[in-house]
Structure 1
């Protein structure tokens, strides 16, 4: 895909949704961090239902440590892999209290050192909480970028590096929101809704559907 076509795609997505936001509910960097940690192999809707009950009771590292592992599990037991996620959340909270004064560090290496936090989670936190121009690539974005030929790669890391290279600076802060929402609701996995797509004429996917 050429530079002009990419620019046209990004411009349309921006015009359609000038101020995109994550669909995870949060009010602080810590709430976002825990929500993203819980969202692996789970839906944002499911995570929001759990955190809507958890955060009024405990929404700081110390408060979750005071809650304890067993009680935390009760709040998040509707989320897939909740046992592992609960253990990682407790470990993460302990590190935040002991090493970062109870605050979420605005630092990639420090974030990725937290249990259960990988590059994608760190990218989301740096982008959504701190406004960094990071691009978090999940399964939706990976599929969308390869299907449309916007930024092709064999792995999510490949796609991320390609996006960093080809997306102009003015779009970088918001691009992962536009792509994830488009992949989640329009360019869906089994049958993309090509007939309802605002970038259909620019997309290079050959097997388009109605």
Structure 2
């Protein structure tokens, strides 16, 4: 795919959704961090159901740490891998309190040192909470990038590197949200809805479904 076609795709996404947002519910960088940790191998809907009950009770590192592991688990037990996620969250809260004055760091190195936080989670927090031009690549974005030929790569990191290279700076703040929403609701895994796709004429997928 050439850059001219890519820019047309970005422009259409922007025109259709000028200010895209994550579907996770959050009101602070810490709430976003916890929500993204919980969202691994889980849907945003399931995470929101849990955090809508958790955050009114505890939405700071100190409050969740004091809540304790057993109580935290009761709030997130409907989410997959809740046992390990609860342990990571408690550990993360302790580190934030000890090393970061209870605040979520705004740099990749410190974020990725937190239990349960990998590159994708760090990218989401940096982009969404701190408005940095990072691009988090999840399964939806990996699929859409490869299927459309927007940014081909056989690993998540290769797709991320390609996107960072080919996406103009003015679109980098929003491309993560555009692609994840496109993959979640239009360019789905089993049966892409090409007939109602915003970019169907620009997409280079050879097996379009109409």
Query: TM > 0.5 between the two?
Result: yes
Name the CA distance, whole Å, in 1 between partners of 2:37 and 2:169.
27
Q: Hey, what does 2:141 align to over in structure 1?
A: 141
Matched, 1:69 2:58: no
Matched, 1:12 2:12: yes
Name the CA distance, whole Å, in 1 between partners of 2:11 and 2:106.
29
Q: Hey, what does 2:96 align to over in structure 1?
A: 96
Matched, 1:169 2:169: yes
Name the CA distance, whole Å, in 1 between partners of 2:107 and 2:95.
14
Give the superposition deviation at 1:107.
1.1
Q: Hey, what does 2:50 align to over in structure 1?
A: 50
Structure 1 segments (4+ residues) deviating >6 Å: none
Name the CA distance, whole Å, in 1 between partners of 2:87 and 2:3.
45
Name the CA distance, whole Å, in 1 between partners of 2:101 and 2:43.
31
Aligned residues: 210
Name the CA distance, whole Å, in 2 between partners of 1:50 and 1:6.
37
Unaligned runs of 5+ residues in structure 2 are none
Please, what is the CA RMSD of the aligned residues? 0.4
Unaligned runs of 5+ residues in structure 1 are none
**Counterpart mapping for 1:148-187 below 5 A:** 148-187=148-187
TM-score, structure 2 length as denominator? 1.00
Name the CA distance, whole Å, in 2 between partners of 1:5 and 1:107.
33
TM-score, structure 1 length as denominator? 1.00
